[in-house]
Structure 1
């Protein structure tokens, strides 16, 4: 029996220098198990699928983390709005966008001028979930 090769995203998540609750949030998000309003409504729970923050979109992972006006404001202040807008144009799911950002090569992340870019991305995503 051969060994399975671990997905690089899991190695990246578990070595982040941030609280365990943030790592667990990222893990749940990438597994598609966050109870966003769209997911809850699709499971026949009596909840409006609208975003509780902006009321202008359906609250799925992509909207909550990247398309909501509050999310756009956070990413713009962090100087990541251009790269996120570009990735969102590809029409990826929110989980895929988050994974893409966390797996960006160091040289692509270093242009933002932060020391711990991946931690900043993870904590910002958790903040957007928590603040909603």
Structure 2
């Protein structure tokens, strides 16, 4: 039978209890179509590739969502900075880290003591994008 099974990440994203704009943001990010400054600069647009928030590093998805001082502060306040630090150590792309966080097994998410952790992660990532 020629049908393909959809990637489970898409089912997870569309099931999230959060605004559609957040789901679309996650979808765009995972497809690598988020117009971060590094991406725009690589496409020869006249924009500095540096992060507009910290000016310390090139703004790609990984920096914007996980490595920027602002992002680190958000994740630390939410109490999930250790999980994110471990994911970043594996040297994954920002998109892969976000996908990893959204599909974490329920037992790993329960440890954090929150309800709706996936929604919190998705909305926080959207907030970091929007706030910049």
**Band the TM-score falls in, shorter-chain normalisation:** over 0.9
Q: How many residues align?
A: 132
Residue 65 of structure 2 corresponds to which residue in structure 1? 65
1:2 deviates by 2.1
1:13 matched residue in structure 2: 13
Give the aligned partner of residue 52 of structure 1: 52
Give TM-score, length-normalised by structure 2: 0.99
Q: Deviations over 1:27-81 (max 9, x none)?
A: 0000000000000000000000000000001000000000000000000000010
The 5 A counterparts of 1:1-132 are 1-132=1-132
Unaligned stretches of 5+ residues in structure 2: none
* Alpha-carbon RMSD: 0.5
- Segments of 4+ in structure 1 off by > 3 A? none
Q: Which runs of 5+ in 1 are unaligned?
A: none
Measure, in 2, the Cα distance between the counterparts of 1:33 and 1:86: 25
SS in 1 for 2:75: helix
